[in-house]
Structure 1
Amino acid sequence: MPQAPRLYYLDDIPTPYRLGVQKRIAEQWPGAFQLAFCAESEPGRDWELDFEALAPQFLAGKQWRPARQVNPFSIKWNPGVIASLEAFRPDVVILSGYVHPTMWRAARWCRRNNIPYAISCETSARSSVTTGWRWIAKRAVAGWMVRGMAFGLPVGREAGAYLARFGPSTAPMHFFPNTPDTSRIVAEAAVLTETGGEPALRAELDIPPDAAIFLFVGRLIGAKRPADAIAAFRKARGNADAMLVMVGDGDLMAELRAAAGDDPSIRFTGWLKDPATIARLMSIATAMILPSSHEPWGAVVNESMAAGTPVISSDQVGASTELVEDGVNGFLVPVGDVPGYAAAIARLLADPELARAMGAGARDSAMSQGEDFAAGNLISGALAAVGVSPIDRPAVPAESAHAA
């Protein structure tokens, strides 16, 4: 094995909750690194991203969205993936999931060439069935691939348990959470405090100076259940000086506006394109509300918690089940339980000190599983797969060694 092993990372599409981690991997990996994507984007997920010096490769191919898919996920097929792998000659490969035919093809290439590979996974038994004919079919189609991996990269404990259910495997698991740049969010919150910018931010978003802020941030679609946030807020607010700020857009916008009517305590902002504005808004909120019925991860949880804001979340949000300790740094509520969300909102409205204490704990939890944590776990797993101890790994060159 060469002293500077070559790492190939095949991802689905670029996302803001992976790109920062991938940049850190590129900076810290001791050998050549190639990042490749199956597509530049997919419907419903168009982000403006800065790749800096990553120089990713976008593979030509096709994508197809299954009928009744509840989130913007499309299956990818990229026939040129083999040529890409053979041109780079990796020593270890990272595959984003086991669903895409592109990933199956890459895994077969790895097995033919005795190249160790890892599989990242954000699915858990909460978000996907593990019984019945669908589970049998999934194991038949992708079980070989999971059982043949050198190590797993689940987003957390439940995703790791899900991977293990594909069949016997001694592959170690290295947690690889979806995460935004938590340090940037903490910095934005600090800037707002240091500059005294909160009054101007409230004025810009038409939020009264002293109102407690509850946030919903995300697409206004059925799987997110934004109507539950509105119903719970109305039930809990009473005469309190509080506002529900709905950040986002989607198919349910008109319906939700109609439901809110002329209630001045509910504000719809549409999408806020400046990430700094969202981070600062999170930092002055009392809590984030995320009542989703289907959310394999939910990076907005990491963002809110990094900003020092507790999350009131359904028990179907992957990030919340990993990061939120119910009643300590946020609240976990059964999906659809509007009275449960309302009780959490009322508790925070009645006890601002509790909200602040929860916020501090939330920040600690998010920072402990930020980008450095995720990148370090992937690098440790990949080095171990090629027989290089993380302690003995070669130093990173002065100029990061990207694909040549």
Structure 2
Amino acid sequence: MRIVDVCAFYAPSGGGVKTYVERKLRAGALAGHEVIILAPSDSDRVVEAGGGRIVMLPARRFPLDRRYSYFDDEASLHAMLDRLQPDLVEASSPWASAAMVARWRGGAPRALIMHADPLSAYAYRWFGSVLSREAIDRGFDWFWRHLRRLDERFDLVVSASDSLSRRLEAGRLRRVMTLPMGVEPGHFSPAHRHEGLRARLLERCGLGPEATLLLGVGRHAPEKRWPMVIDAVTSAGFSTPVGLVLVGDGRERGRVRRASAHNPHIQLLAPMHSRPALAELLASADALVHGCEAETFCMVAAEARASGLPVIVPDEGGASDQARSGGGLLYRAGQADSLAGVIAKFARADAVARRRAALESAPAVMTMDDHFDRLFAAYDDIAGARRHVA
């Protein structure tokens, strides 16, 4: 089967989408499929990778993040799909590119991969303090109508978490399938724990080995809520010794630095591009803490679970599924006081038991290879559903 992934948020510089794409190319080749990634770019080159291809289609730069481009020419996209002659088409973003794929007049079946949850990332975060979720959904009914139109035109809508699937089905989408993404195999394991590294990181935080070492990993972006996490760690630290190592960077770096400036027990590290180094760091902390309730899957929480690390995450979004699957801890999304209370309780009473539970569940964490086996099997099921889309 020739599978063309219209991948709106692929960037050669890295990130979770790049990791997912590279694994998909290899998994597709091993399964006997030809996977082609069609990505917006500032050039028209073709890259051979992992037994498949990455086809760059010239497009405009995304104004808020110049690492990315976005599909802005529907005729050009349709012409490329005509040229590639796919047996199945994926759209990996629910925005304009998915509507372009829906309007393509080719006969191949198509799948929408919900790698983004715009309502949680933006609308619920912006207005959640003053309006109910139901009121926000009514105000953004135009987006739900957009999703329902896509649901009508696609053969499959793939969601990476039960929490997102429930919301989509409540919004009257009918073709939703839950399929967690999985972690990159061969990297993450409790065996990578390094007590010396843990002690050095706590020392950098001005704390001794008896303190609790929390780890945060992710972009410095508004929806990640790192200033809220920092406030919660600071508050919990008044009653028990807690250090936080936060790995990442992004356009909110100024706010993150200001939030952490007066707490010597918080250390900011640059993004880590070495998978072995990240695996050792995850395995060597005491818990992962995460602030974003808009995750569709939460890859870093899954990687932490595979490393035997307890997770402390919000009670909404894909991260919450990771906690429920692996014995993690939940706090009220967006509430620093709730997170502070959970951190303090974990540090004083729960750490040993939670660590034991995380170690026991680590081998059961789904890998990306498992994910792609199930994804390609689902595609085989709809491969015969060829029809013309007006």
- TM-score, structure 2 normalization: 0.78
Q: After superposition, where does 1:247-396 map in structure 2 within 5 Å?
A: 247-261=247-261, 263-292=263-292, 294-316=294-316, 318-325=317-324, 329-351=327-349, 352-361=351-360, 363-364=362-363, 367-368=365-366, 370-387=367-384
Question: 1:88 maps to which residue?
Answer: 84
Alignment match of 1:115 (pick from 92, 108, 111): 108
Q: Tell whether 2:40 aligns with 1:38.
A: yes
C-alpha deviation, 1:85, in angstroms:
1.7
Secondary structure of 2:378's counterpart equals helix
2:165 pairs with 155, 160, 165, which one?
A: 160
Distance in 2 (CA, whole Å) between partners of 1:362 and 1:342 is 25
- CA gap of 1:362–1:250, structure 2 versus 1, over 3 A, is farther
The C-alpha deviation readout for 1:152-193, integer Å capped at 9, x for no partner, is 211122333344456464x3x43333444153122xx52x35
Q: Does the 8 Å CA contact 1:99/1:142 hold for their aligned counterparts?
A: no
Q: Measured at CA, do residues 315 and 78 of structure 1 come closer, stay the same or move farther in structure 2, by a change above 3 Å? A: farther
Aligned to 1:184: 187
CA shift at 1:118, angstroms? 0.9
Separation in 1, partners of 2:330, 2:42: 34
Instruction: Find the residue that maps to 1:59 and give its secondary structure.
Output: strand
- Determine which structure has greater relative contact order: mean sequence separation of CA pairs < 8 Å that are 6+ residues apart, divided by chain length: 1
Deviation at 1:9, TM superposition (A): 2.0
Whether contact under 8 Å (1:174, 1:377) holds in the other structure is: no
Q: State the aligned residue count.
A: 357
Offset of 1:205 from its aligned partner? 8.4
User: Which of the residues 124, 148, 151 maps onto 2:153?
Assistant: 148
The 3-state SS of whatever aligns with 1:233 is: helix
DSSP-derived class of the 1:184 partner: coil
Cα RMSD (Å): 3.4
Does residue 103 of structure 1 match 2:105? no
What residue in structure 1 maps to residue 20 of structure 2?
Answer: 18
Shift of the 165–355 alpha-carbon distance from structure 1 to 2, 3 Å rule, reads closer
Structure 2 partner of 1:76: 71
What secondary structure, in the 3-state scheme, does the structure 2 residue paired with 1:244 have? strand
Does the Cα contact within 8 Å between 2:198 and 2:213 map onto a contact in 1? Answer: no
Structure 2 portions without partners, runs of 5+: 11-16, 125-135, 386-390
Deviation at 1:119, TM superposition (A): 0.7
Which deviations, in whole Å up to 9, do the C-alpha atoms of 1:209-244 show, x marking residues without a partner?
Answer: 724310121223432222222222232234745421
In proportion to residue count, which structure has more helix? Answer: 2
* Shift in CA distance, 65/147, structure 1 to aligned 2, threshold 3 Å: farther
* Cα gap change, 1:160 to 1:28, in 2 (>3 Å): farther
The residue identity in structure 2 corresponding to 1:27 is A
Q: TM-score, normalised by structure 1?
A: 0.75
Separation of aligned partners in 1, 2:340 and 2:101:
47
Structure 1 CA distance, aligned partners of 2:227 and 2:84?
49
Q: CA deviation at 1:62?
A: 2.2
Tell me which amino acid in the other structure corresponds to 1:92: L
Taking the aligned partners of 1:120 and 1:90, their CA distance within structure 2 comes to 17
Aligned residue identity for 2:38: A
Quick one: distance in 2 between partners of 1:163 and 1:381?
19
Find the residue that maps to 1:320 and give its secondary structure: helix
CA distance in 2, matches of 1:273, 1:348: 29
Q: Which runs of 5+ in 1 are unaligned?
A: 42-48, 389-404
Preserved contact between residue 62 and residue 78 of structure 1 (Cα < 8 Å): no
**Identity fraction in percent:** 18
**Residue in 1 aligned with 2:132?**
none
Determine the structure 1 residue equivalent to 2:222: 222
- Aligned residue number for residue 31 of structure 2: 29
- Partner Cα distance (1:50, 1:331) in 2: 42
Question: Which residue in 1 is equivalent to 2:13?
Answer: none
1:274 and 1:31 map into 2 onto residues whose CA distance is 29
